[in-house]
């Protein structure tokens, strides 16, 4: 469904540069699709993602888990994935939790020119639908993603769909003209 929606948004010529997603959607098939449509992918990744530190390492099958890299906040590293030809950039950030503990956010993008701050700022837009623009956002989502064709007929399945894809379709709201 993710790929169908990306293709539909692209087909409808909605202008966007990045597809943002959580770790659930970050995989080589989705990354390659977005790259093939001439856009960039930016998503969270799990700590067990394996990367090669150079093109040569990828060619020889030398991969390490991203967790072993101990990425420091402020650091962006260019690495290679098994099934994505283009290099990708990764970074990590430490985030405080409400209970006082800390969590780690690991991000990956196909835009290897991104700075650390651009990584964080852009990824935060995933949830940043401005108050007062939700109606425009949902109208655009419905029109550009062909929601009427989805098999979501009950209130419960429609609500579940909106929750699952809200973060991904921030690009639609970002493409709306500023007022």
Q: Are 26 and 167 in contact (CB under 8 A)?
A: no
Q: Which tokens sit at 157?
A: 């399945």
Segment (H or E) for 4: helix 2-11
For position 176, what pLDDT does the model report? 46
Best CA proximity match to 92, nearest among 101, 82, 100, 102: 102
Burial per residue of 32-41, b for 16 or more beta-carbon CB atoms within 10 angstroms, e otherwise: bbbbeeebbb
pLDDT at 46: 93
Nearest to 47 by CA among 32, 69, 27: 69
Report if pTM > 0.85: no
What's the token pair of residue 74?
């402020």
Spatial contact of 14 and 6, defined as CB atoms under 8 Å apart: no
Q: Which of 119, 44, 124, 20 is nearest to 74 (CA)?
A: 119
Given pLDDT bands bounded at 50, 70 and 90, which one contains residue 12?
confident
Run of H or E residues at 166:
none
| pLDDT 10s digits, 116-169 | 999 888 888 875 544 454 455 555 555 555 555 556 556 556 555 555 555 555
What is residue 150's predicted lDDT score, i.e. its pLDDT? 59
Dihedral of the alpha carbons of 84, 29, 128, 160, in degrees to the nearest 10: -160
Helix (H) or strand (E) holding 168: none
Q: Cα–Cα distances in Å, from 135 out to 105, 132, 139, 141, 158?
A: 30, 7, 6, 10, 16
The pLDDT assigned to 94 comes to 83
């Amino acid at each position: 469904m993710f790929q169908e929606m990306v293709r539909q948004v692209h087909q409808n010529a909605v202008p966007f540069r990045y597809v943002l997603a959580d770790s659930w959607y970050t995989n080589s098939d989705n990354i390659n699709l977005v790259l093939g449509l001439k856009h960039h992918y930016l998503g969270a990744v799990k700590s067990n993602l394996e990367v090669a530190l150079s093109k040569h390492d990828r060619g020889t099958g030398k991969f390490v888990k991203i967790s072993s890299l101990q990425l420091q906040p402020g650091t962006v590293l260019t690495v290679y994935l098994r099934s994505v030809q283009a290099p990708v950039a990764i970074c990590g950030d430490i985030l405080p939790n409400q209970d006082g503990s800390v969590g780690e956010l690991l991000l990956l993008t196909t835009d290897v020119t991104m700075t650390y701050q651009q990584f964080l700022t852009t990824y935060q837009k995933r949830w940043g639908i401005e108050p007062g623009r939700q109606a425009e956002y949902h109208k655009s989502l419905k029109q550009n993603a062909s929601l009427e064709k989805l098999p979501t007929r009950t209130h419960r399945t429609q609500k579940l769909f909106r929750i699952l894809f809200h973060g991904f379709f921030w690009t639609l709201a970002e493409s709306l003209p500023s007022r």
